[in-house]
Chain A
Amino acid sequence: MFVAVAALFAGCKKEIDFTGMEGKQYVVVMAQLQPDSVAVVNLAYSRFFLNSDTPKYINDASMTLWVNGTAYTPSSVSEGNYQFPVSPVGGDSVWFEADVPGHGTISAATRVVSHPQIENVFVTATTGYEFWRMMDLQYIQADITDPADEKDFYRFEVIERDRRPEYEEDEAIDTIFRSYFLYLGLKEVGDTSRQDIFSAEMATALVISDKEFSGETKSVGFISTPIVDTTGLTTRDYWLRVVVYSPDMFEFRRSASMASSSYSMFAEPMQTYSNIKGDAIGVFASQSSMIFPAPRIQMPEAKRRRK
């Protein structure tokens, strides 16, 4: 009887008919301005969520971009990308305005972020308790300076490449922001004390705002559990990737990440952030990303293991 009941329970699925219920299509603005890069603004329409087609781009809008008060018109338009003959730098004020047929005037403004200023990246070997066990550890730390006149958000990622011969090149590299890298938090330069921070947000984006160190230099660090070869050299290369977001870009990235169905089945619904004025949604903001190498180190004699 229970097998029959279980079979009955498992089979009650039905497709929901959405014919005629596609709802409103939105004009979507995507502009992720990077310092020293050509300014590009993308316009497209949103799609019904069950629609797997490519987006419908808008190529017939009339758009103007201002950088510090100087106006520019697009040098080319293709697949919704409006490319402008200007490369704003960190600190520039940029805004745009566009007339989209059928949707009126839309606009937004932002400030271009500066490239992340990393003064120093260093790696040290140590031991400590991880997951209730004493283990070899290495600290990866970087000194970062924040411009005082900008409000920024920082995201840190650690990229590793395993040099062991059994790893194929395309398998060896990975971007790590998962649990076995522990974020040490922002500390004073030279402070190597440990302050573990567990955060549910780590799995998706390790982002901090600059309110703790606006205009100052601080040290940000990570812990990893190294694997060493018979000579005591760690087997992985590391790079520290730092991404700087303007506030609007941070809000958009955060909301888009949480709106993703993979975020958490128990998470509350999240509305995707938009800073576009007028009959449109999307984001007109700035980000910059740089990668800094962290050297491989020789682990102390007593800590060598054969792997």
Chain B
Amino acid sequence: MKRLLTYLMLVMAGVAAMAQSYTINGTVTDKKTGETLIGATVMDVNSGKGTVTNAYGYYTLTLKKDSVNLRISYVGYRPYERKMMLSANEQLSVQLYPSQQLEEVVITADKVQGVKSSQMSAIEVPVEQLKAVPVLFGESDILKALQLMPGVQSGSEGQAGMYVRGGGPDENLFLLDGVPLYNVNHAGGFFSAFNSDAVKNVTLYKGSFPAHFGGRLSSVLDITTNNGNDQTYHGSASLGLISAKIAVEGPIIKEKTTFSISARRTYADFLLQPFIPLILDQDEYDMSVGYYFYDLNAKVTHKFSDKSRLYASYYLGDDVMYAKVLVGDNPIMSKDDYLKFGFQWGNMVGSLRWNYVINPKLFMNISGSFTRYRNSVLFGTEEHYRINDTTTVLDMQMDYNSNIHDWSGRIDFDYMPNPNHSIKYGAAYTYHEFMPEVLDYALNTGDDAGDEGVDTVGTLRSSTVYAHEMMAFIEDDWSVTESVKINGGLNFTGFSVRDKFYPSVQPRLSGRILLSNDWSIKVGYAYMTQYLHLLSNSSVSLPTDLWVPVTDKILPMTSNQVAGGVFYSWKSLVDFSVEGYYKRMSNLLEYKEGSTFMGSSETWEQKVSMGDGWAYGVELLAQKTVGQYTGWIGYTWSKAERLFNREGQVLNNGQVFPAKYDRRHDLSIVLTYKPNDRFDCSATFVYSTGNTSTLAMQQIVDQEGSTSVEMDEFGNPVIVEEPVDVNYMESRNNYRLPAYHRMDLSANFHKKLKHGQRTWNVSIYNVYNHQNPYLIYQSYDLGLTETKKLMQLSIFPILPSVSYVYRF
């Protein structure tokens, strides 16, 4: 009996010892800069268990009490390895050394990303690779580089707007350090609002959205900015064809408090002004015109301890376009009339975030933020009266603007109880203030003697809409077995506006079956709800597009998306994937036929129709991210359609029509070559089916369509009616523009200087000068017979550019 009891106690002790597990946790950072590394792989090679660092570079890995061979790796860095005996919880923060070049390091079983991840429909490209892609005027642009990925389309030529898997440009959630931005376009979409010098990490989700994301139907672009070097001061200054950039970062308190500031501004307005008189006849035209944009990113990070960090971020960006033209010069009456107009739009974002490690398995983040977005269109006249020696100015101005203010708070938890479960949960609240249509008008008088006349000001506005948006979520990344991994979650949202409450329960599910170390199959499903709409003209996207909330009449948009794919990794060097998707969307908004966004007696709610849409397609991707040669080839076959047949909201006679950016084929090839530190180059080729456009292909004669008035012999008016041609539009988006294709080349020449490094960039946009259509218009040749033609306008021919960058 005594022996039996002893034996049982030994067995139980042994079992207890085996069941005991301990947690290793810490932060992974760059040795040189102190920047946290997001998505770094942390793996125990012995057991095969692993995880990745979160958005703050933090990881936690719970393993059984045993010998551990810990390996921490990240693309572009030398891996860290450590063997140890795990017999207690261990805090281990690691600094990785950057590799001199992207070596073809064989990353074996520790690769948790890509093939092995349960996440599908996600694009993760190293930021340096995105920056290397040549774009317009030699400026690197994260968003434009992402548009070269399968499933992601741009708008018209040069535009940075994103259309992901048949969704509209408002269906993308752009997060800058966790805070949403409303309009991410500069220069009407030719550049994005993201200064690549400030960006540290980019992840794009096209489907199978994790439950901690919500609020948009089609994609989530999660961008993290640099924290700043915690060791030494660094910076860069660059001068390009159209803009100048400056970036500075460094420690405020070494290894504790850092800052990072980057800013850029275009200067085409300054440089163009002297040339306007050369282009225009100054005797006939008196014009001042200009356009510029600027943005500023600033961040301060403070590390209280290994457990606690505080981040303060700020973003400000604006586009300003202005013109003032002399339209009437009356020397007899001593009066000059000017016409003026302008556009302005921009974002301002401020946020404060605090991370805290509650215990080795539980990480917490609390954040608060404020977002302001506004756009305005300005029209006005100035009348200058010259009486004796005094000039009196009558200045009339109308400013049509739209504003959004958001105040948000959020709390997130990352909980990893054991290596098989990685649980996230949290909640968020946003208070929205929408002012969608505000018309400010003003009449000012004054003279150059300083006398001010009567000023009249006023405002007409549709009512401000206040809304409350709440969200809670829970998700688990669960390794069911060695080969089966599931990410499942629920996102609960509620939107309260004008005594109306819209709740939504959104299930999310994605799963991976590992067929071998190199092969996997993934499937995913996501139900998404969106409470905001962007009212956009069907023919052209404008900065004046209105962001509006759901109301008691306008319902939330919803989507159901399923996706499935096969993934293969060749020697962990090249990843291949084939992915198919089907997405169904409801309560989409379009302007009614004949409507215009310009103010009228109708409110915006009366100008829109609600309908449905669907999109499906297949995406192929081959991607290499390590080695001297990197890049990707992406191809998409897709179809996107719309149907608006609800009573009173019919478009296109209730028939199905192609979506605005429905493109059947999309091909992108991106190659970069970096043999050494002194030189690198890249090439891009894109081909896509032309955009759709609505074209009235037929015309009919209205026998009495034109009226004019004449006098009869008695001096009374007589109406004279004459036939006139009327355009007949057969269906919406019935015409497809010619296919779009171009090739870009870029090369960088680096040289180390005494203090810092300089780089010359030479790039050519549209190398073979293909005339890609930007818009189409009718033209008339008035000869012996009137001849009509349809013309296409292309805006970017072959464009060489050069820029200079100095880094210290």
A184 contacts partner chain B, Cβ-Cβ < 8 Å: no
Contact A49 B788 (CB under 8 A): yes
Q: Does chain A have a CB within 8 A of B253? A: no
B776 interfacial by beta-carbon distance below 8 Å: yes
Question: Would A269 and B538 count as touching, CB distance under 8 A?
Answer: yes
Is A16 within 8 A of B776, CB to CB?
A: yes
B699 touches A46 (CB 8 A): yes
Q: Any chain A CB within 8 A of the CB of B598?
A: yes
Which residues of A from 253 to 273 have beta carbons under 8 Å from B? 254-256, 258-261, 263-264, 266-272
Q: How many angstroms from the CA of A261 to the CA of B594 in the assembled complex?
A: 11
A241 to B719, CA, bound (A): 10
Among A49, A200, A264, point to the contact of B698 (Cβ < 8 A). Answer: A49
List chain B residues, Cβ under 8 A from A271.
593, 652-653, 729, 731
Q: A16-B738, A28-B701 are in contact. Are A132 and B729 (CB under 8 A)?
A: no
B696 at the interface (CB under 8 A from A): yes
Interface magnitude class on chain B: 35 or more
What is the bound-complex CA distance between A42 and B717, given in angstroms?
Answer: 27
User: Is there contact, CB below 8 Å, between A2 and B272?
Assistant: yes
- List A contacts of B540 (CB < 8 A): 266
Cα separation A174 to B728 with both chains bound (whole Å): 29
B window 212-234: CB within 8 A of A: none
Give every chain A residue within 8 A of B731 (Cβ-Cβ). Answer: 271
Q: Report if A14-B279 is in contact (Cβ < 8 Å); known contacts: A47-B699, A200-B596, A239-B717.
A: no
- Residue pair B275, A3 in contact (C-beta under 8 Å): yes
Task: Tell me the interface secondary structure of chain B in the complex.
Answer: mixed
Per-residue B-contact encoding for A282-294, CB less than 8 Å = 1, 0 else: 1000000101010
Interface pair A267/B594, CB less than 8 Å apart: yes
**Which residues of B402-422 are within 8 A (CB) of A?**
none
The residue on A at minimum CB distance from B781 is: A52
Binary CB contact string for chain B from 665 to 688 against chain A (1 if under 8 A, 0 otherwise): 000000000000000000000000
Are A30 and B653 touching (Cβ within 8 A)?
A: no
- Among B715, B727, B795, B796, the residue within 8 A (CB) of A259 is B727
A161 at the interface (CB under 8 A from B): yes
Residue A302 lies at the interface, judged by CB distance under 8 Å to chain B: no
Given contacts A14-B791, A256-B705, contact A200 B601 (CB under 8 A): yes
Stretch of B201-209, B325-333, B706-714 lying at the A interface: B706-714
**Given the complex, which residues of B lie within 8 Å of A174, measured CB to CB?**
709
Q: Which residues of A contact B697 (CB under 8 A)?
A: 22-23, 48-49
- Report the bound CA distance from A97 to B481 in whole Å: 74
Number of A-B contacts (CB under 8 A): 190
Beyond A3-B275, A32-B704, A241-B719, is A268–B594 a contact (Cβ under 8 Å)? Answer: yes
Report the minimal beta-carbon distance from B457 to chain A, rounded to whole angstroms.
10
B728 touches A272 (CB 8 A): yes
Assuming A9-B795, A44-B701, A52-B786, is B696 touching A268 (CB within 8 A)? no
A197 to B592, CA, bound (A): 22
Residues of A close to B598: CB separation below 8 A:
200, 264, 266
A8 x B797 contact (CB < 8 A): yes
Interface string of B282-296 (1 = CB under 8 A from A): 000000000000000
Q: Which 6 A/B pairs are nearest by Cβ-Cβ distance?
A: A12-B794, A258-B594, A200-B600, A269-B694, A46-B698, A270-B594
Instruction: Please give the residue numbers on chain A whose beta carbons come within 8 Å of chain B beta carbons, in ascending order.
Output: 2-3, 5-6, 8-9, 11-16, 18, 22-26, 28, 30, 32, 42, 44, 46-52, 55, 132, 159, 161, 169-170, 173-175, 197-201, 239, 241, 254-256, 258-261, 263-264, 266-272, 281-282, 289, 291, 293
Instruction: Using A2-B271, A200-B599, A267-B596 as known contacts, list a sample of 15 further A-B pairs with CB atoms less than 8 Å apart, ordered by residue number in A.
Output: A6-B279, A15-B789, A16-B791, A18-B790, A25-B698, A28-B700, A46-B700, A49-B696, A49-B778, A132-B456, A173-B709, A199-B600, A256-B726, A258-B594, A266-B597
